[in-house]
Amino acid sequence: MTAQRLVENCVLTNQTAVVDEMLNKHLLPEEYIYPFLGDVMEWWLIDSWLAERLKRAGEVIIEEYGCCWWGRLASGQAIYMDSVIQEIAAG
């Protein structure tokens, strides 16, 4: 699978505003992000398949309310260009 195809199939939508608001209202446990607080630049709703692989790679993942959010530590480039996405796509 190419990195671009992986993103098309597994990264659903940007939810930075939603997750930031949930964190501000203490609706999400801080244990998920404590070591990364301030480092997350974007929050993306992703499927569980990608969440599991990103978690194994040490990425910030929140699993609550039946959703999986990825705390992306980069911004400004296409997601498929992120090294962690490239590595997962390569298998």
What's residue 30's pLDDT?
A: 75
What's residue 70's pLDDT?
A: 97
| CB 77, CB 39: distance < 8 Å | no
User: Does the structure show a pLDDT above 80 at 6?
Assistant: yes
What's residue 38's pLDDT?
A: 67
- Taking only the tens place, the pLDDT of each residue in 30-77 is 777 666 666 889 999 999 999 999 999 999 999 999 999 999 998 999
What's residue 87's pLDDT?
A: 97
What's residue 23's pLDDT?
A: 87
Is pTM beyond 0.85? Reply is: yes
* Domain ranges across the chain: 3-90
Give the pLDDT band (50/70/90) at residue 16.
Answer: very high
